[in-house]
C-alpha cells in the first residue's frame, strides 16, 4: 500500500479538527509538462502517489470551497518545493482544475525555478488595494498560476501581516479550485507554523530513511498546537527496492 495513502488514513483516523484569472499566453517552461491524459499502467510510483494524495485531500476537504493546502518540511532539503510542483502537475492537472502555487519563502524558490521575474506579492497587492491578478503568473496555457506571498527578502511575519494574509486567502478561495502553499521548513523559519491555522489542511513532507520518528512526532505536535490540521505525510526521496516492472502490476 502507498506510504502516502497509509499516512493519510492514519491522519484521518486520529481525527484532527478541523472567477479564475484569465490566462495569458507565455512559453511553457520545459520543466513543467501539462497533461490531462488518464493514468496508464506505465505511470510511475510518484504519479500514483500524487493522485492518491490528491484524492485523499479531496475526500478530507469535501465541504470546503476553494481548498487551501499547505506543504511544510522539517529542516530543509526534503524537496518540499518539488513535491508541490509535482502535485500541481499530476494531481491537480489531471482533474483539469485551476490551481495556484503560492511561494511563501522569502527567497522565492518557485519563482526562481520557473525563471519568472517577481511581480508584486499577494501581501503587497492586498495592502495597497491593487488588482490581485497582477500578482499571479500564468504557467504556459495551463490552469496553473504562480504567485509569491511576501515581497522578496522581506522581514518576518507580524500581527498586521497575519491579518493581511487572512484577507489574501479569502480572495484566493473564490478564484481557484486549489491553492497550494509552499512554505519554509519548521526548523528554519517561523513563517510555516504561523500559517498553519489559516489552512484547510497541512501536508508534512519528510525525507524518507533520514528523519527519526520522534522528530516527525514533534513536528506533528507543533502543527496541531499552532492550530493546524495535519491531513497527511509525504515520505519523499524513498528508495524503491521493488523493480519498476513490479510496480506496474500493483
Q: Which one is predicted more confidently, 126 or 162?
A: 126
Residue 10 placed within a domain: yes
Residue 27 placed within a domain: no
**Greatest mean pLDDT range, 18-22, 39-43, 149-153, 154-158:** 149-153
**Sequence-distant (≥ 6) Cβ neighbours of residue 210 within 8 angstroms:** 237
How far from the centroid of its chain's Cα atoms is residue 198's Cα?
14
Residue 29 placed within a domain: no
CA–CA separation, 202 vs 56, rounded Å? 13
Q: Is the pLDDT of residue 9 over 60?
A: no
**Sequence-distant (≥ 6) Cβ neighbours of residue 241 within 8 angstroms:** none
Instruction: Give the pLDDT score at 244.
Output: 52
Local confidence band at 199 (pLDDT 50, 70, 90 cut-offs):
very high
What is the per-residue burial (b if ≥16 Cβ within 10 Å, else e) of 96-119? ebbbbbbbbbbebebbebbebeeb
C-alpha cell at 195: 500559517
Mean pLDDT of 14-39: 39
Instruction: Give the pLDDT score at 22.
Output: 43
Please count the structural domains in the chain.
Answer: 1
Mean model confidence pLDDT for the chain? 77
Instruction: Give the pLDDT score at 18.
Output: 38
Residue 20 placed within a domain: no
Q: How many CB atoms lie within 10 A of CB 68?
A: 23
Instruction: Give the pLDDT score at 117.
Output: 83
Residue 32 placed within a domain: no
- Could you tell me which residues are beta bridge partners of residue 102? 147, 181
How far from the centroid of its chain's Cα atoms is residue 241's Cα?
27
Residue 26 placed within a domain: no
CA–CA separation, 152 vs 188, rounded Å? 17
Q: Which one is predicted more confidently, 247 or 39?
A: 247
Q: What is the CATH number of the domain that holds 95?
A: 3.40.50.300
pLDDT tens, residue by residue, 93-113: 666 788 999 999 988 889 888
**Sequence-distant (≥ 6) Cβ neighbours of residue 229 within 8 angstroms:** 16, 17, 18, 196, 199, 200, 201, 202
Residue 153 placed within a domain: yes
Q: Which one is predicted more confidently, 182 or 55?
A: 182
Residue 108 placed within a domain: yes
Domain of 61 in residue numbering reads as: 3-15+43-247
Instruction: Tell me the percentage of the chain whose pLDDT exceeds 90.
Output: 29
**Secondary structure of the chain: what % helix, strand, coil (to 5)?**
40, 15, 45
Mean pLDDT of 85-98: 78
Q: Is the pLDDT of residue 143 over 60?
A: yes
Look at residues 45, 39, 38 and name the one whose alpha carbon lies nearest to residue 2. 45
Instruction: Quote the pTM value.
Output: 0.76
Integer CA distances (angstroms), 76 to 36, 72, 176, 195, 240, in order: 32, 10, 28, 18, 22
Mean pLDDT of 39-63: 72
Lowest mean pLDDT among 21-35, 152-166, 184-198: 21-35
Amino acid at each position: 500500500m502507498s506510504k502516502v495513502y497509509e499516512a493519510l488514513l492514519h491522519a484521518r483516523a486520529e481525527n484532527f479538527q478541523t472567477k479564475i484569472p484569465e490566462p495569458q499566453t507565455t512559453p511553457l517552461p520545459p520543466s513543467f509538462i501539462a497533461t490531462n491524459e488518464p493514468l496508464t499502467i506505465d505511470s510511475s510510483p510518484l504519479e500514483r502517489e500524487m493522485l492518491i494524495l490528491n484524492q485523499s485531500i479531496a475526500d478530507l476537504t469535501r465541504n470546503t470551497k476553494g481548498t487551501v493546502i499547505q506543504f511544510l518540511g522539517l529542516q530543509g532539503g526534503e524537496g518540499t518545493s518539488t513535491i508541490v510542483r509535482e502535485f500541481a502537475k499530476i494531481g491537480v492537472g489531471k482533474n483539469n482544475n485551476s490551481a495556484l502555487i503560492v511561494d511563501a519563502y522569502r527567497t522565492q524558490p518557485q519563482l526562481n525555478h520557473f525563471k519568472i521575474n517577481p511581480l508584486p506579492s499577494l501581501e503587497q497587492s492586498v495592502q495597497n488595494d491593487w488588482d490581485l491578478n497582477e500578482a499571479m503568473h500564468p504557467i504556459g496555457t495551463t490552469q496553473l498560476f504562480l504567485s509569491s506571498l511576501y515581497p522578496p527578502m522581506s522581514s518576518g511575519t507580524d500581527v498586521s501581516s497575519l491579518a493581511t494574509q487572512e484577507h489574501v486567502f479569502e480572495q484566493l478561495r473564490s478564484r481557484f479550485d486549489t491553492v497550494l502553499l509552499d512554505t519554509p521548513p519548521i526548523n528554519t523559519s517561523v513563517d510555516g507554523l504561523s500559517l498553519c491555522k489559516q489552512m484547510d489542511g497541512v501536508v508534512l513532507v519528510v525525507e524518507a530513511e533520514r528523519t527519526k520518528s520522534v522528530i516527525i512526532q514533534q513536528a506533528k505536535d507543533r502543527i496541531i498546537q499552532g492550530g493546524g490540521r495535519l491531513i497527511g505525510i509525504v515520505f519523499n526521496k524513498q528508495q524503491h527496492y521493488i523493480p519498476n516492472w513490479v510496480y506496474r502490476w500493483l
